[in-house]
Amino acid sequence: MTTGTLITVAPTGAESAKAEVPALPVTLDELLLTAKECEALGAAVIHVHIRDDEARPTLDPVRLADTVAALRESTDLIVQLSSGGAVTDPEAARLAVLDARPDMASCTMGTVNFGDDVFLNRWEFIVDLHTRMQERGIVPEYEIFDLGHLSALQRLLGKYGLPAGGHVHVDFVMGVPGGMPGTTETLVAAHRMLRDLPEGTTFSATGVGRSTIPVLLASLSAGGHLRVGMEDTVTYAKGRPVESNMQLVARAVGFAQLAQRPPLTTTEARELLGL
């Protein structure tokens, strides 16, 4: 079992509207402040979505490059860009995310129903994303929305080789309507399937909405790591809106310390992930 806990903060996402969630960080200044605060508490990775001047999700290449540069200048966090964007973003724009040269990028391992929408990830697109990251030395986080995505990952690695850095790290995104449920039983099943992946594969888990706490506890108990943030939940407890991403990171850090698996430093996280 891994002795420390890798904590990733996903502060914004592409789903919530600023008008409905005023605490959501959408400007570069808001994102940088959130990043600094969460790093000070124990986060080592920041999973980044960006917004335009009207706070709408965007994959604008100039904004992405400026965001990566600003985060590197202001923090020591591992910068992980989302290659998923919003469900309506075209494949070409999602691939172009890599031009911003992040440390890491997400690589979703299959198509999934996403509420009333469809998050489309064709096999050819996944292969293209994986191989481009290999060529550029960008470390992927393989996003797993359903159990079949783990089988797809096994196929991908078998045909196209290990990712940049040689270490395989996955994130179980649980509780999305249309994807795998955010329950202990499902996490146990997903964890068992990791045995079919390269030795040393690590995992984080993300509980969306009300599944946040069950997934957090189950992941820690299984030796996994944590992703938290306002991308995934905007309610701290029943009837209590999240006030900031700091709240969610602080809670994750507290649980990790109770589990005697304190947060990894950014240096330790880089070593773990093969950066």
Q: In the structure, what pLDDT confidence band is assigned to residue 115 with cuts at 50, 70 and 90?
A: confident
Quote the domain boundaries for residue 160: 7-273
Q: In the structure, what pLDDT confidence band is assigned to residue 207 with cuts at 50, 70 and 90?
A: very high
Q: Which amino acid is at 264?
A: L
- Four-residue CA torsion sign, 271, 47, 215, 250: positive
Number of domains in the chain: 1
Please compute the mean of the pLDDT values over residues 141-145 and round it to a whole number. 98
pLDDT for 268: 97
Residue bearing tokens 């994130």: 171
Please state the length of the chain. Answer: 275
Residue at 215 is within a domain: yes
Q: In the structure, what pLDDT confidence band is assigned to residue 131 with cuts at 50, 70 and 90?
A: very high
Q: The whole model's pTM is what?
A: 0.96
Residue at 178 is within a domain: yes
Rounded CA-CA distance 15/115 in Å is 11
Please compute the mean of the pLDDT values over residues 198-216 and round it to a whole number. 96
Query: In percent, how much of the chain has pLDDT > 70?
Result: 99
Backbone angles phi, psi at 200, to 5 degrees: 90, 0
Please compute the mean of the pLDDT values over residues 142-171 and round it to a whole number. 97
Residue at 110 is within a domain: yes
Residue at 257 is within a domain: yes
pLDDT for 128: 97
Contacts 24+ apart (CB under 8 A), 190-197: 190/144, 190/147, 190/150, 191/222, 191/224, 193/147, 193/150, 193/151, 194/150, 194/170, 196/150, 196/151, 196/154, 197/150, 197/153, 197/154, 197/157, 197/168, 197/170
- Supply the mean pLDDT for the chain: 96
Whether residue 122 is predicted with pLDDT greater than 90 in this model: the reply is yes
Residue at 211 is within a domain: yes
Residue at 1 is within a domain: no
Q: Using one digit for the tens of pLDDT, what is the confidence trace for 68-92? A: 999 999 999 999 999 998 888 999 9
Please compute the mean of the pLDDT values over residues 157-183 and round it to a whole number. 97
- Neighbouring residues of 1: CB distance < 8 A, sequence distance ≥ 6: 223
CATH code at 95?
3.20.20.70
Q: In the structure, what pLDDT confidence band is assigned to residue 1 with cuts at 50, 70 and 90?
A: very low
pLDDT for 2: 57
Residue at 164 is within a domain: yes
Residue at 2 is within a domain: no
Please compute the mean of the pLDDT values over residues 119-144 and round it to a whole number. 97
Please compute the mean of the pLDDT values over residues 217-233 and round it to a whole number. 97
Q: Using one digit for the tens of pLDDT, what is the confidence trace for 9-60? A: 999 999 999 999 999 999 999 999 999 999 999 999 999 999 999 999 999 9
